[in-house]
Structure 1
Amino acid sequence: MASAEQTGLIRPLGRTLLRQACSHGGTWHAAGHELLISVNLSPLQLAEPDLLLAIQEILDHTRLPACALQLELTESAAVHSPPGLLDELSGRGIQLALDDFGTGYANLDALARLPVTSVKLARELVTGLDDPDNIAAAAIAYRTIQLCHDLNRTVIAEGIETERQYAALRARGCDYGQGFLFAKAVPASDITQLLAKGQSDSGQ
């Protein structure tokens, strides 16, 4: 079966998902919850000539601040993006993140040159931290985090599933993490309820 990327359906599908994510984000921001809304963009979406206009229209319509939107790009998509596109997105205040870093296409020069604010440490680099005797995995994770920090990039570890992985990443200075250890994916309505409960519990 062909994928949405192969058939080109990722273009309308991706735009619909971006609109829905920004709509939820705009609602949460209006309620006082300043969340960062992260949305993946595919290489085909990056090649769309009206991408900048479409994103701006979505932000205007949903009233989500540009700085509250983070677009996640694979390394290869970022490197091969149309000239000036990423700089234009960054210049508008939109945050950019390199997804699955450490397993893809970008070299160190590209990491330094691309206008990204965050780097998402690939699951493959996190899994090896479960083994306390895996010195190589620990060294790679530490050096990658250190390099990103030297370049003023925030590091987000993907696929954290165990307490050992979490502890190892914290000890090595990782900024943020995501994975089943913290929570599984839930519908937007569940997030709205959790945010409302948090306000209620804090007495706001």
Structure 2
Amino acid sequence: MRDELLTAIADNQLFLQYQPQMTSDGRSMASVEALVRWHHPEKGSIGPGDFTPDAEAAGVMSELGNWILRRACRDCARWPRISVAVNVSALQLRDTNFVETVVDIVREEGLAFERLELEIVESAVIEDFARASEALSRLRSLGIRIALDDFGTGFSSLTYLRRLPLDKIKIDKSFIDDLDKVQSAAIVHAVIALSRALGLKVTAEGVETEAQQRFLRSAGCHFLQGYLFSRPVEAAEIARRLAEPPPLA
């Protein structure tokens, strides 16, 4: 698997798709999330959930993560206005050269630091909280934004809201799926209110219906991401949509 993944990186078998993150009214694209795919010569297109665990086990997550970051920065530098969100693994965060690597890649690809957002999950900071927090603080001081992904699925998320250098949280899709249930709706409403009180932006993942959009907008959610607006698409499609005139009010 290690050799296969290294070959995939070297031979351009990997490619990125991007899922838009929209303003709550659904009219404007604020950013995109980069999602890696593997065009395997025998198995066809493979999603990240099917091979990133193998990349971690094979010890090539840093190489994979650096490839994703570089390609995402390169694509975003060609687009106007929007920012790009890139997922960061626990193994990347533990790398002693992580900050320097990120800074070098962003500068080499000509992207403004303010247009990059790094998404981390709670498990990525548990093992060495001090090191992770220090690394994220250094990146944030340059203008790179930090988002806590899959919020609500861990055990200590409120602690991290208080202690990590965050700009945004992303509410996990599992809560959005159950918005028609009183308990989930109350939790989502409370999380949005708490985040806004702390000065954090909020993105809801997995928005698939207009009813969910109405609820989240009325609750004060800043950004929405999901199939209601777009599936992940190629970089050229993002460029095409950005070139279109804005919809009429």
Same fold (TM over 0.5): yes
Where do 5+ consecutive residues of structure 2 fail to align?
1-50
Deviations 1:177-199, CA, capped at 9 Å, x for gaps:
10001001001111122223348
- Partner Cα separation in structure 1 for residue 125 and residue 168 of structure 2: 13
Question: Which of the numbers 197, 200, 217 marks the counterpart of 1:170?
Answer: 217
Query: RCO higher in 1 or 2 (8 Å CA, sep ≥ 6)?
Result: 2
2:67 is matched with 16
| CA distance, structure 1, for counterparts of residue 56 and residue 199 of structure 2 | 32
Rounded Cα–Cα distance in structure 1 between residues aligned with 2:242 and 2:125: 33
Q: Note if contact 2:118-2:146 (Cα within 8 Å) is conserved in structure 1.
A: yes
Provide Cα deviations, 1:97-135, integer angstroms capped at 9, x if missing partner: 000000024332321111110000000111111x2xx21
Q: 2:243 aligns with which of 186, 190, 196?
A: 196
Structure having the higher strand fraction is: 2
SS at match of 2:78: helix
Amino acid at match of 2:160: A
What amino acid maps onto 1:19 in structure 2? R
Q: Which runs of 4+ in 1 moved over 4 A?
A: none
Partner SS state of residue 3, structure 1 = helix
SS at match of 2:71: helix
> Per-residue deviation at 1:4?
1.6
For the aligned residues, what is the CA RMSD? Answer: 1.9
Q: Percent identity of the aligned residues? A: 37
1:1-204 matches, within 5 Å, as 3-28=54-79, 33-79=80-126, 80-81=128-129, 82-83=131-132, 84-129=134-179, 131=180, 134-198=181-245
Residue ranges of structure 1 left out of the alignment (5+ in a row): none
May I ask how many residue pairs the two structures share in their alignment?
Answer: 194
Structure 2 CA distance, aligned partners of 1:112 and 1:177? 23
How far, CA to CA, are the matches of 1:19 and 1:38 in structure 2? 12
2:188 match: secondary structure:
helix
Q: Normalization by structure 1: what TM-score?
A: 0.89
Instruction: Please report the TM-score for the alignment, with normalisation by the length of structure 2.
Output: 0.73
Distance 2:161 2:204 in 1: 17
Q: Secondary structure at the match of 2:178?
A: helix
Counterpart amino acid of residue 148 in structure 2? L
Shift, 1:68, TM fit: 0.7
Tell me, in whole angstroms, the C-alpha distance in 2 between the residues paired with 1:190 and 1:155: 25
